[in-house]
Amino acid sequence: MAVQTVTKVLEAADLGLTLPHEHMFIDLRNQFTPFDDAEKDAISRQKVHINNLGRLRLNPYAIQDNLVLDDMEAAVSETLLFKEAGGDTIVDCTSIGIKRQPEKLRELSLRTGVNIIAGSGYYTQDTHPREMANWTAGYIAERIVRDFREGIDNTDVKAGIIGEIGTSKEILPWERTNLEASALAFQELGAPVYVHTYPWGQAGIEAVDVLVRGGVAPEKIVLCHIDVEPDLAYITALLNRGVFIEFDNFGKEFVIDPTERGFAGGIFIRDLDRVRLIHDLVRAGYASQILVTNDICLKSMLCCYGGWGYAHILKNMVPLMKSENLSESVIHEIVRDNPVKLFS
């Protein structure tokens, strides 16, 4: 199957080693919750700096600047680190509502030689335009299809995935309409559909059901963010529906103070625990439905701010998988083959 990147069309088999869910440029300040405490409020207005990285390791949502990625030169250097580690392709899942920047994605791809696949559709309801109250699923589907066939936001940069389509802890009315719209768009495009789920919720099953009823093939659905504080029964129920699940929070290990969680509904488990859960799922026969990536959407995840960057899976997690007795063939299947299969 042909895959549209921001610069050209590729065959799925030529994607190479792919990160299936990242953000190169994004604005997630909709997830910031203001603080009543004067000291915390003052810190929340600072720029990300070595002096406040400790604060962010406890709560990544505590500083507004941490929720914005918009620096082209930083993006180039960080993407080149991924390329040097053996990476070929990055799927940028930024959708409408969290500041898509298609022309910057194209520039980034041209400057680095890394393939980038761009997103389409709408994020969570808190970011939707007010006029969506009057939009039908058919109208939204037309806008998604236009991103693929004509270009994103009046550019000639074309989308390659449907998503990430936003859902909240409970699927809200406009979000349901967007899922229905995604199913309509899928019928024309056949592209993968990515569903953003609230990381501490379990609305993914309902989202899958809406999509499948609308005609989306389960093997073209990606359920995102199932690895933040995972529930094995929930994950297994998703897998049994035939979809891909995404371990997409590698590099995020946060124990957030319950008194200041705001958007966050819990903690982020350790990467080691993610790998061990993957091992359990592999033994249960689900290796072919697992995707792994970082979902970088925070400055503090970048190498230039003390994080592990886009190369984290290849440089750090593959060795950890080996040390946890995942076989070379299984690692190859999860890291290389499954993203290609999603786009095939």
* SS3 (DSSP) at 227: coil
Token match 């190479």: residue? 16
Q: Using the 8-state DSSP alphabet, how is residue 9 labeled?
A: E
71 has binding-site annotation: no
Distance CA 23, CA 79 (A): 11
Question: Distance of CA 258 to CAs 52, 58, 59, Å?
Answer: 20, 11, 10
229 has binding-site annotation: no
Q: Using the 8-state DSSP alphabet, how is residue 120 labeled?
A: B
β 9-11/2-4 pair status: antiparallel
23 has binding-site annotation: yes
Please report the beta strands in 94-147, taking only residues with DSSP state E, as ranges in sequence order.
115-117
279 has binding-site annotation: no
Instruction: Give me 56's structure tokens.
Output: 């962010």
Please give the helix or strand (H or E) that residue 278 lies within, else none: helix 271-283
Q: Are 76 and 41 in contact (CB under 8 A)?
A: no
Distance CA 135, CA 147 (A): 17
295 has binding-site annotation: yes
* SS3 (DSSP) at 3: strand
| Among 213, 217, 220, CA closest to 160 | 220
Instruction: Give me 229's structure tokens.
Output: 């504080």
Residues flagged as binding site? 21, 23, 164, 196, 225, 295
Residues flagged as binding site for a divalent metal cation? 21, 23, 164, 196, 225, 295
